[in-house]
Structure 1
Amino acid sequence: MNRTAHPGNQGVQVDHAYPFDPTHGYDLDALLAVPVPEEPDDFAAFWQGLRARAAAVDVDAWAGPPEAEADGVVVRPVRYASLGGVRLGGWLTVPADGRVTRGCVVGHGYGGRDRVGPLPLTRGTAAIWPCARGLGARGTQPGIPSDAARHVLHGIEARESYVHGGCAADLWCAATALLDLVPEAAGRLDYLGASFGGGIGALALPWDDRFTAAALVVPSFGAHPLRLTLPCTGSGEAVRARHASHPETAEVLRYFDAATAAARITIPVHVAAALFDPAVPPPGQFAVHNALAGPRELHVLETGHHDHPGVPAAERSLAASQRAFLCS
C-alpha cells in the first residue's frame, strides 16, 4: 500500500527571502526518485547493540499529580531514566475516563517542547511526550548543549558518542516508561514525530517491535551524502560546516541516516514531506519516504518550516490524513 496525496507533480512557487532556493531545484517527480544511501556493513549490528543496551535500562518511571485537564484528557508530569544514566522528563496524557485502548510516543522538533499538543488519534490514547536529552523544558542535561546548532554536533566525533544515538534510546526508554505506567497502552503503540522527532523516530523504529505504526512529519537526517551539499537554515547547516573542515564526519553520519534506517522499517508509516523547506532540505525528507520497506502513505506539503497564511489549513489537512491512516 503506497499512496501519495498531491494535486500534481509540479514544483511549488513560494515567495521568500532566503539566500538559496529551499526546493533545491527538485519537483515532486525528482523528489520521489531520491535514492537511499547504502548502509554500512555493520549498520544493523550497531543499532541492535544500542537497542539491547537501552532495553536493559531500569527506566524507573514516575508520573506526578495532574497538571491540567481539558477536552477529556488529563496531563501529568513524567520522569524516566534513559541510556547512559540520564534522567529525562516530559508529560503523560491519559483519557480522563480511564479507558485506554492504545498508546503513542510523541517526538518533538529541534526546538524541544514545553507542553503537550494535539494528537490525531482516538480519545482512548495514552501518550508520552518526552523531551530528548539536552532539549526542551524537561530534557536539559549537564554537558549537552540545548541549542540545535551545537546539539547536532555533540559527540559527532564517533558513532559511539554521537548524541543522536542517545536520542533514539530516549524514545525506546520513553516507550518503556509509558507501558510501565499505562500497561493498557501496549494494545497498540504508535509513534508520532516531526522534524528532529521525525528523523530520530526513523532511526529508532526498525529496532523496536513494540511499535505498530508511525507518522513522520518533515523528517530530518535523511540522505546525509546529499544533505551535506545543500544549504539550509536548520541544524544541517552546522553539520555542513563541520564536515567542510572534518570530512571524516561523513563516516559517522552513515550510521545516523534516517533514510538508511527507514529501509528497515516494515510497519505502516505515514510521511508528510514538503516540496519547499528552508530548514530540512526536501530531498532528505523524501529519501526517508522512498526508503520505507512496509506499507506507506505520502502526504505532500507545499511548505515546511515556513510560516504563511496557508499553514493552518495545511495543518488541519495533515491531521485528518494522519488520523485516517493511524486509525484505520
Structure 2
Amino acid sequence: MSLLSVRDLTVKFAMRDQTVTALNQISFDVRRGERLGIVGESGAGKSITGFALMNLLSQPGYIDSGHVMFGGEDIVRFSDAQMRRIRGNRMAMIFQDPMVTLNPVLTIGQQMVETLRAHRKLSRAEAEQISILKLREVYIPSPEERLEQYPHELSGGMRQRIVIAIALLLDPELIIADEPTTALDVTIQADIMDLLLELCQSNKVGLILITHDLGVVSQMTERTLVMYAGRIIEAGPTRQIINDPQHPYTQGLINALPQQTLPGHRLKQIPGNMPSPAALPAGCPFHPRCDFAVDICRRVRPEIMRFAEVEIACHEVSRLHGIPYKEESA
C-alpha cells in the first residue's frame, strides 16, 4: 500500500476575469521510504503540487477536484483542525528560504519546543532534550548554545540544517522538500542534500524532492516526475529517465545540462518559454517549443500512457511504440 496516493488532482486559481488551471489532473504514488523527484522549469507546477499536498494553498488558489490519500485517508477535504494533526506531525515541508521559514523574533529553541509541544504532551525540559538530539542528528555543533540563538545569528547553511531538524522533530512519514538549497551557496548545497538523503534513509522517511536540478534528482531519488504546464508529461525510474529520456521536453532538459556541452561551446537550451497557465496553446502545451511536433500535436492534447516502467504523454512517442494517433478532442 502506498503512503501517498494522488489521483486526478486539479488546482485552480480564481482570478478577477477568469479561472486559471495550475495543476491539471496529476496522479502519482509514493511508497513508504521512497524518494520521488519532481522536476521542470519555473511555472511547471512543481511548488503548487507541494502546497496542494500539504493543503497550504491560499486564496485565490484552491483544490478543484481529485484525491490525496495519505495513510488511507483523503486529506483533500480535511478541516484546518484535521490538517493540523497531519502537518508537521506525519507530513513535513522544507521550504526554499530558511529565513522565511524561521521566525526571526523567536530563538531556535522556542521554535523547536513550541513545535513539539503543539503535537506531543511534553514538558519544556523534555522538548528541549529532543530538540538537542535532532540538532545533533543534522550535525549542528554545540546544539545547546544554538537553542538560545536567533536565526539571524546563524549562517544560511546552519539555518537550513535547523529547518531540516524541525521537519524531523516529530518523526514524519513524509517530507516534501521544495528547492531546499536554492538560497544557499553552491559549496553548501551538496552537504545539505547529502544530509537530507542520509536522514531519509536512516529514518525510513518518504521524500518528495521538488527541484529544477536534474543532477540533484539523479543522485537523490528513485523515481522522477517531469512536469510541464501543470501536467505530468513523463514519469518513471530516475535512472531510466536520466539515461534514456523519451519525451522531447525531458530530452531538452537533459541536453541543457552544462556537462552535456563541450568546453568553449554555447550551452544548449530549449527554445521559447513555459506558457502561462492563463494562455495555454491548444493540443500539447509543449508543441510550440518542440522540434518533433506534427499537426495532431497542435490540435489534440496527448494522454499519458505507460510503456514498460515509464509513463509518457507524447503523440510521437506513442506512435514510435506502435500506437496510432488518436483523434480526440483536447
Specify if TM > 0.5: no
Q: If the TM-score is normalised by the length of the shorter chain, which range does it land in?
A: under 0.3
User: How high is the TM-score relative to the length of structure 2?
Assistant: 0.27
- Larger-gyration structure (1/2): 2
User: How high is the TM-score relative to the length of structure 1?
Assistant: 0.27
